[in-house]
């Protein structure tokens, strides 16, 4: 079996992880180098005012994500899949936020990968039912941060980006073995 070294080695890959929410939409930009070292490029949250009309909040998300994409030039975007929600109204609003986030990525020509909460937690913590604080702790350790990312939405977005980077690395290794 011959391995294709080009499938195993890449210079860097930069991913924008987005944690959609009605009040806060978290973002985290993580880069992985050829040695599989992770680096936090930026993180934070887009704070939305519940007093603003929904259309204005959606426009704010679109504009700010577009600015982040232009500024940090990610290679790909990762987002959490829709999960079951008890409140239908909240689920619909979350779906609208997700749609706008996906539109911002697609408008910039970026691919969007979607991951379930179980997959994200398993990738980062090793346990799919991990608590938010466990995810935040592991994100802090994996990225060698001096303090936990705040707000929690930023930590979740970083976890989504890390999950995608781990998945992309695994896929590249599998392709290399298949060649």
Is 80 a residue of the active site? Answer: yes
Is 153 a residue of the active site? Answer: yes
Sign of the CA dihedral 49, 52, 55, 59? negative
Is there a contact between 61 and 94 (Cβ–Cβ < 8 Å)? no
Going through the chain in order, the beta strands assigned E by DSSP cover 12-19, 24-33, 38-47, 76-80, 112-115
Catalytic residue among 11, 19, 63, 75: 19
Which strands make up the sheet holding 112-115, listed edge to edge?
Answer: 38-47, 24-33, 12-19, 76-80, 112-115
Cβ neighbours of residue 142 under 8 Å, at least 6 residues apart?
38, 124, 162
Cβ neighbours of residue 33 under 8 Å, at least 6 residues apart?
11, 12, 39
Catalytic residue among 31, 75, 81, 153: 153
Catalytic residue among 31, 52, 75, 80: 80
As annotated, the active-site residues are 19, 80, 153
């Amino acid at each position: 079996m011959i391995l294709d070294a080009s499938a195993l080695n890449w210079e860097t890959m930069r991913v924008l992880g987005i944690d959609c929410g009605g009040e806060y939409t978290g973002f985290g930009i993580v880069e992985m180098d050829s040695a599989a070292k992770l680096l936090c490029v930026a993180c934070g949250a887009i704070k939305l005012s519940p007093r603003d009309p929904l259309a204005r909040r959606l426009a704010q998300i679109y504009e700010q994500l577009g600015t982040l994409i232009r500024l940090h030039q990610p290679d790909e975007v990762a987002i959490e899949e829709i999960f079951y929600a008890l409140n239908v109204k909240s689920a619909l609003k979350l779906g609208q936020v997700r749609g706008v986030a996906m539109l911002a990525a697609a408008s910039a020509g970026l691919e969007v990968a979607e991951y379930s909460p179980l997959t994200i937690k398993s990738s980062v913590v090793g346990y799919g039912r991990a608590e938010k604080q466990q995810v935040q702790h592991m994100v802090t350790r994996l990225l060698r941060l001096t303090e936990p990312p705040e707000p929690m939405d930023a930590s979740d977005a970083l976890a989504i980006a890390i999950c995608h980077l781990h998945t992309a690395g695994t896929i590249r290794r599998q392709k290399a073995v298949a060649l």
